[in-house]
Amino acid sequence: MARDFVREYLAYLRVEKGLSANTLSSYGRDLEKLRLWAAGLGRQLHEIGEGDLKAWLRSLMHAGLSARTIARTLSAARGLFHFLILDGHLDRDPLSNVEAPQTAQTLPRFLNEDELELVLSAPNLQTDEGIRDRSMFELLYATGLRVSELVNLRLCDIDLDRGLLECMGKGSKQRHVPVGRSALRWLTEYLKVRRKLVGSELGKDSGLLFVNASGRALTRQAVWARLRDYAEQVGLDGVTPHGLRHSFATHLLQRGADSRSVQAMLGHSDIGTTQIYTHITGQRLRTTYDAHHPRAKELRSKQRQPYLEKSSTANGEDNL
């Protein structure tokens, strides 16, 4: 009977690496593409070679998958083959000479402060759900939490007196994040109405911070949908919970926060992941400089004039 190497690898990632169920599900979907390809060749995963894998990548491109999706799938496959080497099924990585297609680096979408105010003010504060939603969105922006971290927060994870929350991030890594005054105020308001959402029935309260109108846990999809709907109400498209996370990081860096501190608050294991936001702040600085600095305006004016054939350096003088 053929061994299910994908299942073994996912079990290894869950136990040894502590990856979340969402991440494991994503890896499983990507690796299923490779498993089906190998099965079509009549082979198991540890029996396919470099040429087979290059043909597999070509098939993914012909199927119309984006370069980003292919790169992610290839990354999952690399992890699997490293596991097979570790487990003694392979002597070398058959993907060592196989490169992913080039992907264009896209900068995260973030909201400016006026847009944020529109979105945060959209919920109807005459309803319990509206107060809850305002509290959720304020907290997402105030802390940079992932939506999966938000929906898993428990009442005991929030310290209103100290203005801190504790959350479990990717790889089961725990971190502490400060919470701003505005978010704390809305959390306090929400906790008053949460009792009504949960009800008084003994044993019904899950202990989760954010619950739906029936007192049950909110899903990631529900938070995403509610934020999207509020944003569309105020004329903004493409607003997501992750966009609030991007806004959190970008605004901190724009105001002088150091990358290491932002890295710690976001829960990034690699500083390189955090530093993508410096490209955004650099763009904003460039735009601001060009719009307001008198020398920048002067330069643009000169660029519109005919090129001067001779300069002061023609006499051998340094133009300092």
- Cα distances (Å, whole numbers) of residue 176 to 118, 168, 171: 28, 9, 15
- Cα distances (Å, whole numbers) of residue 68 to 42, 99, 103: 28, 13, 6
Q: Which of 195, 210, 220 is nearest to 154 (CA)?
A: 210
SS3 labels along 144-205: CCCHHHHHCCEHHHEECCCCEEEEECHHHCEEEEECCHHHHHHHHHHHHHHHHHHCCCCCCC
- Cα distances (Å, whole numbers) of residue 39 to 10, 70, 269, 297: 19, 19, 36, 63
Alpha-carbon distance of 300 to 316, in angstroms, equals 27
- Cβ–Cβ under 8 Å, residues 44 and 90: no
CB atoms within 10 A of CB 78: 16
Q: Which of 179, 186, 149 is nearest to 164 (CA)?
A: 179
Alpha-carbon distance of 63 to 245, in angstroms, equals 33
The catalytic site residues sit at 146, 170, 242, 245, 268, 277
